Amino acid sequence: MSIASSFVLVRRLPPSSYGVFQLINRRIAGYVVLPVQLLGFWAYRYEAEKLGGGRCLVQFAAAYAILALALGFAVSQSLGLQASTMLLAALLLALNPLQVAVQTLLSSLRPVRYSITILFHRIVYSSSIIALVYMASRGLEGAFTAALIAITLAILVGYKWVRKQLKDNKNCGKVLGEWAKAIHTPALAHAASTIASLDAIIAYTFWGTEIVAAYFAISIPSALAAEVVAAGLSYLPAYALATGDVSTAYRVVKMLTTITTPLLAYVAVHAWWTTLLINPTYHWASTPMTIVTIARIIDILHASLRAIYGGIQKGGIRTSRKLSKLNMYILLTSTMYVVMFLSTLQLAKSREEALVAWTLATLATATARLALLAKMLEKEGSIIAKETWKTLAKALAYTIIALVLATQLPPRQPETLGFIHILEATIPTLPVYLLMYAAVVYIVDPEAKVLLAKIPQLLQSYYSKFKNRS
């Protein structure tokens, strides 16, 4: 469903409208929810360690939504949106803080229902996009309406499930004050995200909506994969905090990276075909797509190991020093990313060169972040260090295997540029490629055989320890 809605948006909206929608929905929304995310960092950890305080996060988000609404109107007006679309965009931005608060607490307290809520949100969103943008041809207004419907229902369902867990009677002023004292820890991470998200603003300023639309378009396959992995990792820190079971956490990471790598490798090698599938309008961006997809493979591995690092730091706000150090590294790499992007962008003489500059900066930053995180995990003891380097080595090996196999099994040239014909061009090569990848991994990796045999048991163990939270 997510794939379908993404293709509908990128194919049905003109580049200018698609660029505006992604700018508001993916970048501006990230700025608006920042205060809730900062406090939510500690709310997540406090609830995982049964220290309470989650109710205070919801109350803060509800009050802050009023300010977010005003900010939404200001941003929408500056982008020159029509009155009806402006109202929809403002309401969407106003509801984002509430969604972040509810989802943060759900992921810590009721991880299984958190996953169900994510699925519910995606189904409603995708169905609404198909109905309003594809079938009713409502364009940008339909896209914002679909997003608004989905986020509203997701908040209502999520809050219904989490509110019974928020029974502590802590003084919210005291709790929020306690979190505020240690707010520098998440602030570093979110400052890094804010700085990194300036990329779209910079690109928009220098090259307009077309390059912004192209970047988000070529990122669709890897972004969807990252979204799936993020949902799987959302409660991994809480799992490690609550159980101390680091071995299972590493096995989950290996399983997720093994599954996502072949699809992303195929996209990276055959970007010319993927751009046709997404929208032939962006066929000129096939080289940048290869670069950004490889960067996303590294990003997924970084996010997975970062979840484990967060899960092994116990003790409430006493963990602030180590977590702050990690976030400082992320802040430095984000600054490096923007500086690198700005510097190389000055040399670009065409839209393709500008997009290559953007994606190369993304790749360099992802690599630097992963290297720094690996060094930090190495200092957490011999067991953690061994598991980390084993995970990295296998991820590299699986990626190389997938890339080599993908070069040997390219899609056919499609008969026409119709979506179905482009999709049919991968038959039978894509299924054969996936089977060959699975066979090679199974043969060369003894642990993969054991892992495949134990997947049902692993998942049962992973969820059973959260049984009382489901």
Interval 184-198: pLDDT, tens: 878 887 788 888 888
Domain termination residue (choose one: 163, 181, 199): 181
Does residue 70 register a pLDDT over 80?
yes
Least confident interval from 9-13, 71-75, 434-438, 457-461:
457-461
- Per-residue model confidence as pLDDT tens digits over 207-219: 888 898 899 999 9
Does residue 65 register a pLDDT over 90?
yes
C-alpha distance from residue 248 to each of 47, 173, 454, 462 (Å)? 21, 38, 11, 7
Please indicate, yes or no, whether residues 186 and 155 belong to a single structural domain of this protein.
Answer: no
Please indicate, yes or no, whether residues 396 and 359 belong to a single structural domain of this protein.
Answer: yes
Please indicate, yes or no, whether residues 28 and 115 belong to a single structural domain of this protein.
Answer: yes
The mean pLDDT value for 71-77 works out to 92
Please indicate, yes or no, whether residues 138 and 251 belong to a single structural domain of this protein.
Answer: no
pLDDT of residue 317: 59
Please indicate, yes or no, whether residues 386 and 267 belong to a single structural domain of this protein.
Answer: yes
- Per-residue model confidence as pLDDT tens digits over 104-138: 999 888 877 888 898 899 899 999 999 999 999 99
The mean pLDDT value for 314-340 works out to 81
Please indicate, yes or no, whether residues 245 and 286 belong to a single structural domain of this protein.
Answer: yes
pLDDT of residue 179: 84
Question: Which of 49-58, 168-177, 336-345, 411-420 ranks highest by mean pLDDT?
Answer: 336-345
Number of structural domains the chain divides into: 2
The mean pLDDT value for 231-248 works out to 78
The mean pLDDT value for 443-464 works out to 67
Higher pLDDT, 456 or 52: 52
Domain termination residue (choose one: 161, 181, 201): 181
Please indicate, yes or no, whether residues 105 and 219 belong to a single structural domain of this protein.
Answer: no
pLDDT of residue 205: 87
pLDDT of residue 454: 64
Please indicate, yes or no, whether residues 261 and 408 belong to a single structural domain of this protein.
Answer: yes
Please indicate, yes or no, whether residues 199 and 317 belong to a single structural domain of this protein.
Answer: yes
> Which residue bears the tokens 């699809």?
263
Please indicate, yes or no, whether residues 175 and 189 belong to a single structural domain of this protein.
Answer: no
- 390, 392, 394, 398: CA torsion to nearest 10: 180
Question: 149 is in which domain, residue-wise?
Answer: 1-181
Please indicate, yes or no, whether residues 63 and 80 belong to a single structural domain of this protein.
Answer: yes
Domain termination residue (choose one: 120, 150, 181): 181
C-alpha distance from residue 436 to each of 91, 354, 391, 426 (Å)? 48, 36, 21, 15
Please indicate, yes or no, whether residues 243 and 305 belong to a single structural domain of this protein.
Answer: yes
Q: Residues 6 or more apart from 286 whose CB is under 8 A from it?
A: 271, 272, 274, 275
